[in-house]
Chains A and B, each alone.
Chain A
Amino acid sequence: MINVWTIAKREYRLYFSSPVAYMLAFFLFLVLGFFFSYSIQIAASAMGMQQGYVPGVDITLQPMAVMLVLLTPALTTRLLAEERRLGTIELLMTAPVRDWELVVGKWLGAFMLLLTYLAVSLIYPMILNQLISPGVDQGPLLTGYLGLILLSAATVAVGVFVSSLFSNQIAAFAATMGVVIFLWWIISVIGQVAGQTGGATELARYLDYSGHFYDNLLRGVVDLRDVTYYLSVTALSLFLSAMSIEVRRWG
Chain B
Amino acid sequence: MIRVEGLTKDYGLRRAIEDLTFDAQKGEILGFLGPNGAGKTTTMRILTGYMPPTSGTAQVAGFDVVDQSLEVRRRVGYMPETVPLYPDMTVFDYLKFMADLRQVADAEDRVDELLERLGLLDRAESYIANLSKGMRQRVGLAQALVHSPEVLILDEPTIGLDPVQIIEVRNLIKELGKDHTILLSTHILSEAQQVCNRVMIINRGRIVAEDTPERLQDRLTGSRRVSVQVGGDGDGLASVVAAVPGVARLMEKEDGRLEFETVPGMDPRAEVARAVIQAGYDLLEMRPYGVSLEEIFLELTRDEPTPPQPAEEELLDESISDLKDLNLKS
Contacts and interface: CB of A to CB of B under 8 A. Distances in A.
Q: Do A and B come from one complex?
A: yes
Interface of A: 2-3, 6-7, 10, 14, 17-18, 86-98, 249-251
Given A2-B103, A14-B88, A93 B50 contact: yes
Nearest to B101: A95
A250 B103 contact: no
Interface stretch (B72-80, B206-214, B258-266): B72-80
Interface in B73-93: 73-74, 76, 78, 80, 82, 84-89
Interface in B44-79: 45, 48-52, 70, 73-74, 76, 78
A250 B52 contact: yes
B307 to A, nearest CB: 38
B51 to A, nearest CB: 5
A251 B84 contact: no
A18 B97 CA distance: 17
Contacts of A92: 101
B112 interface: no
A96 B70 contact: yes
Nearest to B51: A249
Interface of B: 11, 45, 48-52, 70, 73-74, 76, 78, 80, 82, 84-89, 97-98, 100-103, 143
Contacts, number: 64
A58 to B, nearest CB: 38
B50 A90 contact: yes
Given A91-B98, A95-B101, A18 B88 contact: yes
Given A90-B45, A93-B50, A251-B11, 20 more contacts: A6-B97, A6-B101, A10-B97, A14-B88, A14-B89, A86-B84, A87-B84, A88-B84, A88-B86, A90-B78, A92-B101, A94-B45, A94-B50, A94-B73, A95-B73, A95-B101, A96-B74, A96-B101, A97-B73, A97-B101
Contacts of A6: 97, 100-101
14 contacts: A6-B100, A14-B88, A86-B84, A87-B80, A89-B84, A90-B50, A92-B101, A94-B48, A94-B50, A95-B98, A96-B70, A96-B102, A249-B51, A250-B52
Interface of A is mostly: helix
Contacts of A18: 88
Contact of B49 (A2, A86, A89, A94): A94
A20 B304 CA distance: 60
B86 A95 contact: no
A250 B100 contact: no
Nearest to A92: B101
Given A250-B52, A251-B11, A17 B88 contact: yes
Nearest to B44: A94
Contacts of A249: 50-52
Contacts of B97: 6, 10
Contacts of B103: 2-3, 96
Contacts of B87: 86
A88 B102 CA distance: 15
Contacts of B78: 90-91, 94
